[in-house]
A and B are shown apart, each in its own frame.
Chain A
Amino acid sequence: MTELRKRGGGGGDPDSSDKEADLDDRLGTDGECDGDSKADTPDVPLSTADTDNTPQYLNKALEGLPPRWKNYWIRGVLSIAMISGFFLIIYMGPIALILIVMTVQIKCFQEIITIGYRVYHSYELPWFRTLSWYFLICVNYFFYGETLADYFGALVQREEPLQFLSRYHRFISFALYLAGFCMFVLSLVKKHYRLQFYMFAWTHVTLLIVVTQSHLVIQNLFEGKIWFIVPISIVICNDIMAYLFGFFFGRTPLIKLSPKKTWEGFIGGYFATVVFGFILAYLLSQCQYFVCPVGFNSETNSFTVECEPSEIFLMQEYTLPAALQNILTWKTVNLYPFQIHSIFLSSFGSLIGPFGGFFASGFKRAFKIKDFANTIPGHGGIMDRFDCQYLMATFTHVYIASFIRGPNPSKVLQQLLMLQPIQQLGVFHTLHSHLRERGMLPPAAAPQAE
């Protein structure tokens, strides 16, 4: 969630006040010729994001308007463009979505690493860019390999090289990571130890944040596109609604960290988002395209989204509590259970999601940058758009794991097939007696295929 940054007009940005933090970077120098102590000091050069460099054609088109309106226009147009882009990629299907998520992840990683480089003047250490990108590739390989092995189990078993890669996946990933680690150790240069360790840590924290979250987004996607669309839409809606409510009714400031946020915007955004999530969940729960887990059809080698919708996507009747009954004069209401879940998702997106935005604001103040980058005119970088999404993706994943689904059946089958035959027999007998108890199998004679 970002507040409007007025590029043209003044805006009383209280960024300039934390000069002091810089003094802490200076440690007493001693005989060690480690030039880092100077390099740590803190005059972060002005980021290019601070200057106004909207594309020329937009400038021309909006020549006649005063700067403030020009800014609104640009932001408005870009917002609509991004939302349309969102709809387009949903239409295009799972592969496109995965590719988009990967692109966003790579861009976010690049933005944060670039900030780190600037802060630490690391440009003259060429190994660093290579090592950072190498670690990104390693961690992505590990995560995507795990995901692929789970979901494309049948395909993987078929192809011999893939089977080998999948069986020793952890070992290969670890070996790749170790190679990067050793390269780092070998690349330590006498005068730049501290810089290098900082960049190493910076890279790892960035990977922790960016890559794990994008991995969770992909896993949510495989549960069903609705688990991808609804959380992201909720965060976008909260962004826009909180801004609108703040614009029209805003009075009491919310937190010192972001002085433009107001309580009115916060609460208004909360209620508006809950309603929006409720309605969106209703609309989407009807389409199998959104509701079904993304499966991979081994025969046609394509993704399928066809299934029997699970019971959270089947209309059920709920008895209203007495209080609501008086107000609405309805006794029962037909809802999808998913709509109840969407209330929780919306609440999280509105109440806790902003903390991700505050974190990013604090980060930008700490490192004296206005925006993460300048990728989107009027909006800043990709990270600026996605800073609230991160917590949301993790929450959705944890929510699904805890309250919605059990373990993934194909994964369990995979593990079964990896056991020793004797163990498989043992499991078979246990399962057999369990199913017989539950009445799923006839007590005598051969079990029929269902």
Chain B
Amino acid sequence: MTELRHRGAEAPIQTQPSEDKGSDSELRLEKDGASDGEWRNWWVRGILTLAMISFFFLIIYLGPIVLMMIVLFVQIKCFQEIITIGYSVYHSYHLPWFRTLSWYFLLCVNYFFYGETVTDCFFTLVQREEPLRILSKYHRFISFALYLTGFCMFVLSLVKKHYRLQFYMFGWTHVTLLIVVTQSHFIIHNLFEGMIWFIVPISCVICNDIMAYMFGFFFGRTPLIKLSPKKTWEGFIGGLFSTIVFGIMLSYVMSGWRYFVCPVEFNNDSNRFQVDCEPSELFQLQDYTLPSFLESFTGWTTVRLYPFQIHSIALSSFASIMGPFGGFFASGFKRAFKIKDFANTIPGHGGIMDRFDCQYLMATFVNVYIASFIRGPNPSKVIQQLLALRIDQQLHIFNSLKAHLTEKGFLPALEDVMA
């Protein structure tokens, strides 16, 4: 979560939850002039915000492939921003191997993760093409070999006087990879579950950002945490409630559309992505009996909801309560390394990391939430694994499964199974 940063003026209004660097001297350096600068800043931020949100709608419309590429692009940009900060902190510019090695490690880790995803989702396509099949069978080995090459290059590149620097950069690169790449991988996984699992969490975080700022602007009084002095409790709580409401409404709107609700699948015949399916029961309207106090309150006995809307409450709550911690972490990081913004990519907003610092925890949470509460394993994946086993193991599993199904009554006791 990022709050507005006033680049032009020093922050005069105490209730605004915008970030303070601890001393206004840095802000003063960028002052453009009088209050004109402040309004111009507002304008720039406002327009850019609208532009980013419209861009978000556009890429949703464009479909899964474009979304994946955008995620990849954002990830690369975030990685570059953090590595550049590391370089400037450690004055590493004169060690040319570093940039190469850092980007090489990024490529390796991405190859590993995307390879696993591609193998899962495009299974039939991969089995068809011979080179792809070999790459997929030995995927882990190839990834490991690539990583090892980078590791050996690192060891061979250790220069006598720069050991510590080099180890720092190595550690920095790896922590960045851990944060940036795994999270973007989770986002892609969520996306393949159904675009709604991609859109709703991101929208919740954006909404929380904006709502917390608004509530803080109008009602803010008690500071929230020493780390970000402009954040207030009023903004925090107001943001929580409005995000929950927003989440419920948004999920109601989206649950009606197959385009958002269906898992993204790859159609082997048409070689394209398709989003067509029977919506799971999460996305079918059900009647819920309201608890009695709500009944008297609203005068309804039952209400029709999508079960997904109940889940969206959990997602919104997480976005509002935990998401800010990601923002505090990024604020602390910026203070620790004495930078104002991660980079200067978006005018008025800072770098890509500034926009995405709260999203990271959210993506992991959604992935864990789906794995724990929503879906079970993917049946086609289970079949794949089954077919990879030895024949006697398959027979053993077949018998266990038969016993299990017969017990549960899904199979007639007298075996007479035809496909």
Contacts and interface: CB of A to CB of B under 8 A. Distances in A.
A182 B405 contact: no
A23 B376 CA distance: 54
B368 A170 contact: yes
B171 A402 contact: no
Given A17-B160, A204-B178, A355-B151, A427 B227 contact: no
A447 B226 CA distance: 70
Given A257-B155, A447-B402, A36 B417 contact: no
Interface in B137-194: 137-138, 140-141, 144, 148, 151-152, 154-156, 158, 160-167, 171-172, 174-175, 178
Contacts of B333: 193, 197
B161 A17 contact: yes
B113 to A, nearest CB: 15
B325 to A, nearest CB: 5
Given A31-B25, A201-B172, A182 B401 contact: no
A62 B410 CA distance: 77
Chain A interface SS verdict (over half): helix
Contacts of A188: 227, 328, 332
B389 A406 contact: yes
B386 interface: yes
B89 A27 contact: yes
Nearest to B408: A421
A201 B356 CA distance: 20
Interface residues of A, number: 89
Contact of B405 (A171, A355, A428): A428
Contacts of A205: 171, 174-175
A36 B415 contact: no
B51 interface: no
Interface in A24-60: 24, 27, 30-32, 34, 36, 42
Contacts of B286: none
A367 B263 CA distance: 50
B304 interface: no
A427 B9 CA distance: 65
A32 B334 CA distance: 12
Contacts of A366: 163-164, 166-167
B160 A409 contact: no
Nearest to B335: A193
A22 B162 CA distance: 9
Interface string A327-362: 000000000000000000000000010010011001
A425 B408 CA distance: 11
Nearest to B400: A413
A423 B166 CA distance: 52
B22 interface: yes
B160 A425 contact: no
Given A21-B163, A257-B158, A435-B394, A425 B410 contact: yes
B292 interface: no
17 contacts: A24-B90, A24-B164, A185-B328, A185-B329, A362-B158, A362-B167, A365-B163, A366-B164, A409-B396, A419-B377, A419-B379, A427-B386, A428-B405, A429-B417, A435-B391, A446-B414, A450-B396
